[in-house]
Structure 1
Amino acid sequence: MEQLGAIRRLVLNRPSRRNALNAALVDSLTAALTDAEDDPATRAVLITGAGPSFCAGADLRHLLEFSVAGESPVPFLRTVSNLTRRIERSPLPIVAVLHGHAVAGGLEIALACDVVLAEAGTLIGDGHIRNQLVPGAGSAVRMRRKFGDPLGRWLGLTGELLPAERFVRTGWLHEVVESGRGSDAGLRVAETLAAAGNSAQATFKLLLADLDEIPTVEAGLKLELDQFDRHWSAHDIPTELRRFLSRRTTG
């Protein structure tokens, strides 16, 4: 964890295991996100990975430990799923920078972020079925929405990993940058988001998350207007509008 001005950088730090997810790492990332949200000086979050990869997914050895103990891995996977939902609904904009590999749980974390960058050549995919696994933290839910049905379905049903460049045309990747330049590029993007940060940005992000679950345009439009009303009532928006108009008049 590192504070860079208004940006809180969170680093997945199990490099010897390609940052594979275990309970300690998931709990640590969840707590770090809460800490960032509670810090009024933090306006955006940047998630990166230490070592050769962003995240190779759940630690398979960790999953086997549950079997040896006669337990189900589902409660652990629920914490990963809850983490992705926390990222998706956090009031802070969250940027992920991928490198090396972003597979299975690593992809699921990235899919929940607001903006995603990747270093050239990063291999990205769902990969679960390669190990006779089914997703448990959102890739089946989010891949088709983020990538489009054909590519999302292909990645899920083949387990294939594709280079980052393949995802640029989907619009999901904000940018593919030169190898080794990901953190700098991600920080630049996070700073742009932080500079735009205010209560309206946080409300807009929550609205987008809610709209993904709204089945009809009519219901979505009603929710949008309801959010406008709540935000207008909770904040002194007229003063902000007068300030903006005054700057235009005197500028």
Structure 2
Amino acid sequence: MTYKTILFESCRGIARLTLNRPDRLNAFTAQMHEEVADALSEVEANPAARVLLLTASGRGFCAGQDLTERDVHAGPLDLGKTTRTYYNPLIRRLTTLPLPVVCAVNGVAAGAGVNLALACDLVIACSSARFVQAFSGIGLVPDAGGTWALPHLIGQARALGFTLTGGTLSASTAAQWGLIWKAVDDEHFEAEREALLEQLACGPTRGLGAAKLAIRSAARATLDEQLDLESELQRQCGLTNDYKEGVSAFKERRRPDFTGS
């Protein structure tokens, strides 16, 4: 597929998916959804991929849905069809990819753009970034997993306040609340992003993917179910080459050379 709304490349274990409609603050259209889905298929099919970066071009991260694509006066719109066709599959794929997904929020994230970021495993934001839960301003409910992610990450009281008031959070407040992992000064943002990607790309990919699965499963599991899942994942990880390499490196007091296998 030839991409017109995103940029995609994969090199040295790092897959980079960049939303690329800067003139529209990288708002989603049907075409962008289709291109993102195709790029994720490339990641899933590439055994050399060790980490995925999701970021955006221009001054903003993502303004959510491009509302200019919708004619609200042409007749009733089935927005549930939009979420079922595009947003729900996207969020499910990001949360279940068997490798770490890093979201680098380079500017404002609004509406579904916030919730897209929250579907990633590690979210870092430049200090000038802002998070806007904009759905209340157009009479809608947060989608793209927002109503699940927000109370799980910041609690019901903050989730309701953020959502019902259409509030704006600074990157530093988002980090303090636990909405994102880290806020980084703008001048250090790119360097910290690249250091994180390099670290993850050199890590034990199957072990990191299993840890991601376990932590994401915990919210809907009982303790007994979680203990059983940990045992099964630990069994699988114990059979990997990276586990052997990690133990060998520990015994030999050297840095491990993980291969992701």
Given the two structures, how large is their TM-score scaled by the length of structure 2? 0.84
1:169 aligns with 2:176: yes
Structure 1 partner of 2:61: 54
Supply the distance in 1 between the matched residues of 2:125 and 2:68 (Cα, whole angstroms): 27
Supply the distance in 2 between the matched residues of 1:243 and 1:123 (Cα, whole angstroms): 44
For residue 13 of structure 1, report the CA deviation from its aligned partner.
Answer: 0.8
User: Which of 206, 221, 225 is the equivalent residue of 1:219?
Assistant: 225
- Structure 1 residues 115-134: aligned runs within 5 Å: 115-134=122-141
Task: Give RMSD over aligned pairs.
Answer: 2.4
Supply the distance in 1 between the matched residues of 2:113 and 2:189 (Cα, whole angstroms): 16
Supply the distance in 2 between the matched residues of 1:189 and 1:237 (Cα, whole angstroms): 19
Q: Percent identity among equivalent residues?
A: 28
For residue 148 of structure 1, report the CA deviation from its aligned partner.
Answer: 2.7
Supply the distance in 1 between the matched residues of 2:219 and 2:16 (Cα, whole angstroms): 27
| Equivalent position amino acid for 1:44 in 2 | V
Number of residue pairs matched by the alignment? 246
Structure 1 partner of 2:259: none
| 3-state DSSP of counterpart to 1:21 | coil
Q: Please identify which structure carries the higher helix content.
A: 1
Structure 2 partner of 1:114: 121
For residue 69 of structure 1, report the CA deviation from its aligned partner.
Answer: 6.7
Structure 2 partner of 1:192: 199
| Equivalent position amino acid for 2:248 in 1 | R
1:46 and 1:187 in contact (8 A); partners too: no
| Equivalent position amino acid for 1:223 in 2 | L
User: Using a 3 Å threshold, how does the CA distance of structure 1 residues 192 and 148 change in structure 2: closer, same or farther?
Assistant: farther
Structure 2 partner of 1:40: 47
Structure 2 partner of 1:179: 186
Supply the distance in 2 between the matched residues of 1:195 and 1:123 (Cα, whole angstroms): 31
| 3-state DSSP of counterpart to 1:2 | strand
Q: Deviations 1:140-192 (Å, cap 9, x if unpaired)?
A: 11011122332222111111112111112123433322336534322221211
Name segments (4+ residues, structure 1) moved above 6 Å: none
2:115 and 2:146 in contact (8 A); partners too: yes
Segment drifting more, 105-114 vs 40-49: 40-49
Structure 1 partner of 2:4: none
Supply the distance in 1 between the matched residues of 2:248 and 2:236 (Cα, whole angstroms): 21
Supply the distance in 1 between the matched residues of 2:242 and 2:204 (Cα, whole angstroms): 15
For residue 241 of structure 1, report the CA deviation from its aligned partner.
Answer: 6.6
User: Using a 3 Å threshold, how does the CA distance of structure 1 residues 40 and 123 change in structure 2: closer, same or farther?
Assistant: same
| 3-state DSSP of counterpart to 2:175 | helix
Segment drifting more, 118-127 vs 7-16: 118-127
Q: Deviations 1:58-111 (Å, cap 9, x if unpaired)?
A: 11122437x737552322222212211211111121111113211111111111
Identify which of structures 1 and 2 has the higher relative contact order when contacts are C-alpha pairs closer than 8 Å and 6+ apart: 1
| Equivalent position amino acid for 1:52 in 2 | R
- Structure 1 residues 95-106: aligned runs within 5 Å: 95-106=102-113
| Equivalent position amino acid for 1:169 in 2 | Q
User: Using a 3 Å threshold, how does the CA distance of structure 1 residues 70 and 157 change in structure 2: closer, same or farther?
Assistant: closer
User: Which of 85, 90, 93 is the equivalent residue of 2:97?
Assistant: 90
What are structure 2's unaligned runs of at least 5 residues? 1-7, 255-261
Supply the distance in 2 between the matched residues of 1:237 and 1:8 (Cα, whole angstroms): 21
| Equivalent position amino acid for 1:93 in 2 | P
Supply the distance in 1 between the matched residues of 2:243 and 2:117 (Cα, whole angstroms): 37
User: Which of 31, 36, 39 is the equivalent residue of 2:38?
Assistant: 31
